[in-house]
Structure formats: structure tokens, C-alpha cells
Amino acid sequence: MRYNQSKNGIFVINLPASMINIREARPADAPHLLEIYAPYVEKTAISFEYDVPTLEEFEGRISSILCKYPYLVAEKEGWIVGYAYATEFKGREAFRWTVETSVYVERSQRQDGIGRMLYGALERELRQRGFHSMCACIAYTEREDDPHLTNDSVLFHERMGFAIVGHFHRCGWKFDRWYDMVWMEKLLG
């Protein structure tokens, strides 16, 4: 994240979406990606992890994913502002044409189209590699006033062409409350 000093303090620079560069992630990007991911773990139920991974663990995740699947980052003027990746859906051989996808955008950069750009690039890469479908596992809340989760991710995926194919109730426990999970799917082939 890039900051400039103003008279009133620090503010984040926002640049037009046309200035975004999308490239393949590298393990060396881990500190920046972890900086984006940590608030999702610490302050939201978007991630069901309780603890922020260590830098070494996060580097290992990136390296492992890159061995078989695309992992993309979005940059504005060289600063990473978001990332998206695909991972194994299930370990059985018959599932090899299906992936699970994730996208995270630096919180101050949300609503700027970065997630759409990342998912669009990820989808193109998955098609080129011959994958058949994308699935997303998304935390879901029944409460409109939930301080840790909105259903914006579900709406985002619907706008990206995904459809809900499963709804699991009270399956994730975080912040002393139960959360649902929905599975969403988009066919590529």
C-alpha cells in the first residue's frame, strides 16, 4: 500500500483502474500479500482462519499454488493492491478440471474494479489451461447488522457469473458466533 502525507495526516493514493497491471505472483510478494490478507483474518469472517499465517507459511502457500495453478497480483504504480488465485478443489483425480478460487483486495481499494480485473484475468488463465469450472467457498451471514461480515462477496461472485450451488448452515465459528458458508460455481467450458 502506498501512502502520502497530507496536512491532515496520512491518506492512501487511489489511482484509476486503467493504471493497474496484473502479473503472476512470486513468493517474494508474500510480505505485501500478507499485509492485504491479515485484516481479513483479524477483523472479518471472510476468512475462517483465526490466526494470520507466518510469512514463511504464506510464502510456502504461494510456491505450492504456483506449481500447478495461477496466482495473480494487481499492481498500481508498482504497489500490490490485490491478488487472486486458484487451488485444488478436491484431491481426487476426477476433480482435476475444477478449481477453488479466492480473491483479496486491499481494503482501501475495494469498489475500484480491482477484484473484477483479477478474476477476469484468472478466468482467462484457467480457460487457457483447460480447466472446466471455478468454485468459490464464501462465508455467509443471515444478519444484516453483522459487524464482521457482509454478503458483498456473494454479490460480487454473482456479478462475475457465479451461481450458488450449495448452502451450509452454521458451519464456521468465529468471533463467538456461527457463520454459514455458500458454494458458488461458474462453468468455463
N-to-C CA span, the chain: 36
pLDDT digits (tens, 9 = 90+) for 44-90: 999 999 999 999 999 999 999 999 999 999 998 889 999 999 999 99
Cα 122 to Cα 22: distance, rounded to the nearest angstrom: 10
Taking alpha carbons only, the member of 96, 143, 126, 144 closest to residue 186 is 126
Taking alpha carbons only, the member of 165, 168, 171, 170 closest to residue 184 is 165
* pLDDT over 80 at 12, yes or no: no
Q: Cell numbers for 18, please give them.
A: 486503467
pLDDT digits (tens, 9 = 90+) for 79-126: 999 999 999 999 999 999 999 999 999 988 887 789 999 999 999 999
Residue 145 buriedness (CB in 10 A; 0-12 / 13-18 / 19+): exposed
pLDDT digits (tens, 9 = 90+) for 13-53: 344 555 899 999 999 999 999 999 999 999 999 999 999 99
Instruction: Give this prediction's pTM.
Output: 0.88
Q: Please, which residues bridge with residue 100 across strands?
A: 87, 135
Cα 172 to Cα 148: distance, rounded to the nearest angstrom: 13
Domains recognised in the chain with CATH numbers: 14-187 (3.40.630.30)
Cα 148 to Cα 50: distance, rounded to the nearest angstrom: 13
